[in-house]
Amino acid sequence: MADLTTNFLGISSPNPFWLASAPPTDKEYNVRRAFEAGWGGVVWKTLGEAGPPVVNVNGPRYGAIYGADRRLLGLNNIELITDRPLEVNLEEMARVKADYPDRALIASIMVPCEEAAWKAILPRVAETGADGIELNFGCPHGMSERGMGSAVGQVPEYIEMVTRWCKQYYDRPVIVKLTPNITDVRKPAAAARNGGADAVSLINTINSITTVNLDTMSPEPSIDGKGSHGGYCGPAVKPIALSMVSEIARAQETAGMPISGIGGVTTWRDAAEFMALGCGNVQVCTAAMTYGFKVVQEMIAGLSQWMDEKGYESTSDFVGMAVPNVTDWQYLNLNYVAKAKISQDDCIKCGRCYAACEDTSHQAIAMSEGRVFEVIDEECVACNLCVDVCPVENCITMVQMQPGEVDPRTGETVQPDYANWTMHPNNPAAQAAE
């Protein structure tokens, strides 16, 4: 069977599934239950400096976005970092690490952007035996209004500065957690590398207001008639996370930098996708909060079975394999031609493909007597909309036309599918080189 043991920054864990810094990792009781359920590691909920206590709201902290079947698609939270005393958290972390030496335990930290504050807390964290630290530069609510969290993560110079302090006063791996609330995530990632960071983790939550209560006219979650922006997470943010991960993985300034993937990981397949785009492991929060800690057992079983089927002996065999296939639009092969095909055996005659194509796309699907739907090749541009709206998986597929066939839409002969698109004659860069 496939070996899911993961080595990330020299930190070994029995599998690549870690719990992210969040309510599920707020205390010893939770973390012990998580490890017993099978999680490979945890990032302890963000610690703050000793001093005035953090005070969370005593009311709703989460807002939700649901699918049509009330399946949870996203959570918006307004919870701050841990409101438990620093001393208590450190004592619990030390006990947990001593009892579970084979599991990864990372301390998430957020203190003011002052060297003295970091210099004071880092030795205390080191005494717990934690395997590393994660710098929370991503929280978009509450703490950012106090000059921490994403207020730091949006300024590359601050990221580099604080990372240097941490590498100076702490001798174990330093992971920088990045905010998605920024135009170009490559810049803070490069700043983290310049500061000496051992890895980056992303994405943190997205600045959001999920819903407005139209009776009270206040955003949800509502506290005494008022609401605030919060951090959005869950399955809905996964596409954004994958894109940002891929940008860091293929950027020259950050190529090869270890990445811990975060953002909507709910199944083993989600995890495999993050890892294929360069992540050495993944962090999970919303799935655990939705289904409980034992959801990791399905993730472990699914990833193991898929790896066996593909012949991968370890996770390192496929980490980063998809990165070379991520490119910019201008390098896509314009000689590639495909057409939609509808399986009449699988079609349930709902007409979604027809309505979508006729009203909003290219009028490339005809409906004949008996609600039989067929593709009009002359009009089909293979946009994939019919595939995406069809409720029956694999009922509609995109079939590549072979070189030498005549494209009925243009009357032109299909050209070879160039393997090396960088030298493709339609590539502007190749034309300029000539």
pLDDT digits (tens, 9 = 90+) for 138-185: 676 656 556 666 677 788 999 999 999 999 999 999 999 999 989 999
How large is the average pLDDT for residues 350-373? 96
Element (H, E) at 279: strand 279-284
Look at residue 426 and tell me whether its pLDDT is greater than 80: no
Contact 34, 42 (CB under 8 A): yes
Q: DSSP assignment of 228-284, as one string?
A: --EEEESGGGHHHHHHHHHHHHH-TTTTT--EEEES---SHHHHHHHHHTTEEEEEE
Q: Return the DSSP state at 350.
A: -
Q: Which range, of 81-95, 265-279, 347-361, averages the lowest pLDDT? A: 81-95
| Torsion from C-alpha of 185, 191, 197, 198, nearest 10 degrees | 50
**Tell me: the pLDDT tens digits for 122-143?**
999 999 999 999 999 867 665 6
Confidence at residue 349, expressed as pLDDT on a 0 to 100 scale: 96
Counting residues of the chain whose pLDDT is more than 90, the rounded percentage is 69
Residue 9 CB coordination number (10 Å): 18
Instruction: Give the phi and the psi of residue 200 in degrees, each rounded to 5.
Output: -120, 155
Encoding tokens for residue 13? 């864990």
Choose among 249, 278, 199: nearest CA to 9.
Answer: 199
Longest dimension (CA), the chain: 77
Ramachandran angles phi, psi of 264, nearest 5°: 80, 15
How many C-beta neighbours within 10 Å does residue 141 have? 20
- Integer CA distances (angstroms), 255 to 111, 224, 234, in order: 29, 48, 27
Q: Supply the pTM of this predicted model.
A: 0.90
Cα-based distances in Å from 428 to 117, 190, 413, 423: 51, 28, 22, 9
List strand residue ranges (DSSP E) for 148-221, in order: 174-177, 199-202, 206-208, 211-213, 218-220
pLDDT for the residue 415: 79
What is residue 221's predicted lDDT score, i.e. its pLDDT? 81
Predicted local distance difference test score (pLDDT) of residue 149? 60
pLDDT interval class at 411 (50, 70, 90): confident
pLDDT score of 63: 79
Compute how many other C-beta atoms are within 10 angstroms of the C-beta atom of residue 362.
16
Task: Tell me the residue type at 329.
Answer: W
282-296, 343-357, 406-420: range with lowest mean pLDDT: 406-420
Query: pLDDT confidence of 395, banded at 50, 70, 90?
Result: very high
Of 13, 5, 21, 4, give the one whose Cα is nearest residue 175. 21
Residue 203 to residue 244: CA distance in whole angstroms:
8
> What is the mean pLDDT of the segment spanning 401-430?
70
Looking at residue 414, its pLDDT comes to 85
pLDDT band at 296 (very low <50, low <70, confident <90, very high): very high
**Does the pLDDT value for residue 420 go beyond 60?**
no
pLDDT cut 70: percent of the chain above it = 91
Count of alpha carbons within 13 angstroms of residue 274, beta-carbon side = 32
End-to-end CA, the chain: 51
Q: What's the pLDDT at 410? A: 85
Q: Which residues contact 369 (CB under 8 A, 6 or more apart)?
A: none
Of the pLDDT bands very low, low, confident and very high (cuts 50, 70, 90), residue 427 is: low
Question: What angle is formed at CA 164 by the lines to CA 159 and CA 165, rounded to 5 degrees?
Answer: 100
Work out the mean pLDDT of the chain and round it to a whole number: 90
Catalytic site includes residue 233: no
Q: Which of these, 36, 42, 101, lies nearest to 281 by C-alpha position? A: 42
- The neighbouring-strand residues paired with 106 are 43, 132
Q: CA-to-CA distance for 274 and 428, rounded, in angstroms? A: 31
pLDDT digits (tens, 9 = 90+) for 197-231: 999 999 998 888 888 989 999 888 888 787 787 78
Cα distance between residue 209 and residue 63, in whole Å: 8
- Report the Cα 173 to chain-centroid distance in Å: 21
* Domains of the chain with CATH codes: 6-325 (3.20.20.70), 333-417 (3.30.70.20)
Tens of pLDDT, residue by residue over 18-71, are: 999 999 999 999 999 999 999 999 999 999 886 566 766 766 777 788 888 898
Is the distance from CB of 265 to CB of 298 less than 8 angstroms?
no
Q: What pLDDT does 129 receive?
A: 98
